[in-house]
Structure 1
Amino acid sequence: MDLFTSPLFERLKDAEHVLIAGAGGGFDVFSGLPLFFRLRELGKKVSLANLSFTRLEMVEGRLLAPGLMEVDGQTPGPVHYFPEGLLSRWFQDRGEHVPIYCFVRTGVAPLRAAYEALREKLGFDTVVLVDGGTDILMRGDEVGLGTPEEDITSLAVVDSLPLRDKLVVCLGFGVDFHHGVCHAHFLESVAALSKQGAYLGVTALLPPMPEVALYREAVEYVCERMPRAPSIVSLSVVTAIEGEYGNVHRTVRTEGSKLWINPLMSMYWAFDLTALARRCLYLEQLRDTQTSWEVSERIEAFRNTHSPIRPWVDIPV
């Protein structure tokens, strides 16, 4: 490895089919779009999936297995919230057919079955789990975990799959502050993973990059068509890419709050998924969960019994 080497792309060099999957629901799959476009340019086969917050019972997509639905640009769905369908429609408007595979928000056991069904259908050999934000790195004893239920469910599932390689990529340093995440604890986790050789560095998303331009276009296209629920995370990242800094707002959803748009927000942070999963203190307790409610209950039970919970620490700079 040298300064001309990207550890992330070195890990992906021998992949034949990469599944880029949103870990935490919502717009998380959008965070993987720059990587999606770059891998396609490199000749890789790439598919997109997302743990969905969409009410899939209202979507007329193709049900592939329990808890797994394929949608595309022609798929009817809820008017006010359907980011996966709108993303596929954006591709369609560009003359491309790119389906999005939607996982129902559920427990680890049924989500693993849905991932297995998708692997049987597509034949992917590598998964990149993408997180809009950085709270997937919280191991469980921090003062704030953010919104761990979906992230750690996805992490537990992908960790259990027999694959050539498994990676985690985060985008949006700082956006989890409003969910109580202490970013000193995030950086501490990065350091711990680095000590294990599991930290794969950062990659800046810059405006001149064609992959970044397409990502910005997709985010703006979908958010304009979802005015009641645009993505705070995605719009914050786009704003950071554009060079804004500080308390800059792109949606009325953030009015009344103070944002910290910053250059670190527009960087990919990449990690080995297996090492990250091993650091989570409660992941094994989720393996047999059947519902998202059960996941929440077990995380709460862990928090109520684990001691000590590490207090907030300001970044000393």
Structure 2
Amino acid sequence: MDLATSPLFERLQRADHVLLAGAGGGFDIYCGLPLYFRLREMGKRVSLANLSFTVLDRVDGRVVAPGLMEVRAETQGPAHYFPEGVLARWFQARGESVSIYCFDKVGVAPLSAAWAALQTELGFDTVVLVDGGTDILMRGDEAGLGTPEEDVSSLAAVDSLTLRDKLIVCLGFGVDAFHGICHAHYLEAVADLSRRGAYLGVTALLPGMPEVDRYREAVMFSSEEMARRPSIVSLSVVGAIDGDYGDQHRTSRTQGSKLFINPLMSMYWAFDLDAVARRCLYLEPLRDTTTSWEVSARIETFRARHPTKPWEDIPV
């Protein structure tokens, strides 16, 4: 490894079939699109999945397994909120037919079974979990965990699989401040993972990169299609890519809050998934959960029984 190499892409170079999956639900899979297009240019087979906030009982897609559905451009779902269906339609508008596999928002045990079913269905050998934000790195004793239920459920499910490689990328440094993440504790987590040899560096998303321009197009398309509930994270990232700085808002959804749009927001931070899973203090108690409510309850119980670090500002 030297300055001319990317540890993230060195790892991905070994893959034959990569599954990019949104870890935290909602629009997280959009944050993986620059990687999707880059990997295809590298000649890799790439599939897309997302932990879905859409009520899948109201979607007419093909049921692959319990809690797992294939969504395509023609798939009908709720008109007001269906990020995966909108993304499939964006691909169709580009002349491509792309499936997005949707995981239901459930506990870790059924989610792990759905992940295993998708591995059997597709045969991928590598997974990249994509977090729109940074809270997937919180191990449990930080001042705030953000919205950890979906991220840690995805982390546990992928950790249970046998694969050639498992990776995590975070996009949107600073966006989780709205949900109470202490970014000094995030940087502490990065440092800890670096000591473990599990930090794979950063990759900047820059204007003019074809992969980044396509990501921007998809985000703006989804913002028009779902004008009442556009992606806060991806609009913030797009703003950072375009050079916005500070308290600048691209959607009325963030009005009334103070944003910190910054250049670090438009960088992929990459990590070894196994190391992130081993570092998480509350992962094991979640493995036999069956519902998302049970996941939330056990996280609350963990937090009540363990001391947490005081808030820390970044001293620069």
In which range does the TM-score fall when normalised by the shorter chain?
over 0.9
Residue by residue, what CA displacement relative to the aligned partner does 1:176-231 show, whole Å, maximum 9, x if unpaired?
A: 00100000000000000000100000000000100000000000001111011111
Helix, strand or coil at the partner of 1:240: helix
| 1:49 CA drift (Å) | 0.1
1:39 is matched with 39
| 1:141 CA drift (Å) | 0.4
* Distance of 1:53 and 1:3 partners within structure 2: 40
2:82 is matched with 82
What is the CA RMSD across the aligned residues, in angstroms?
0.5
Using the size of structure 1 for normalisation, the TM-score is 0.99
Task: Kindly report which structure 2 residues correspond to 1:50-129, keeping only aligned pairs within 5 A, or say none.
Answer: 50-129=50-129
AA aligned to 2:308 is I
Using the size of structure 2 for normalisation, the TM-score is 0.99
| 1:256 CA drift (Å) | 1.2
Is 1:228 matched up with 2:228?
yes
2:309 is matched with 310
* Distance of 1:93 and 1:281 partners within structure 2: 44
Q: Percent identity between the aligned chains?
A: 75
* Distance of 2:73 and 2:141 partners within structure 1: 42
Size of the aligned set, in residue pairs, is 316
| 1:14 CA drift (Å) | 1.1
Helix, strand or coil at the partner of 1:120: helix
Residue by residue, what CA displacement relative to the aligned partner does 1:22-78 show, whole Å, maximum 9, x if unpaired?
A: 000000001100000000000000000000001111111111100000011111110
Is 1:148 matched up with 2:148?
yes
Task: Kindly report which structure 2 residues correspond to 1:194-233, keeping only aligned pairs within 5 A, or say none.
Answer: 194-233=194-233
Helix, strand or coil at the partner of 1:92: helix
Helix, strand or coil at the partner of 1:20: strand
1:135 is matched with 135
* Distance of 1:119 and 1:253 partners within structure 2: 36
2:237 is matched with 237
AA aligned to 2:120 is E
* Distance of 2:102 and 2:113 partners within structure 1: 13
Helix, strand or coil at the partner of 1:117: helix
AA aligned to 1:106 is V
Unaligned 5+ runs, structure 1: none
* Distance of 1:239 and 1:178 partners within structure 2: 17
1:279 is matched with 279
2:171 is matched with 171
AA aligned to 2:314 is I
AA aligned to 1:221 is F
* Distance of 1:145 and 1:188 partners within structure 2: 14
Q: Which runs of 4+ in 1 moved over 6 A?
A: none
Unaligned 5+ runs, structure 2: none
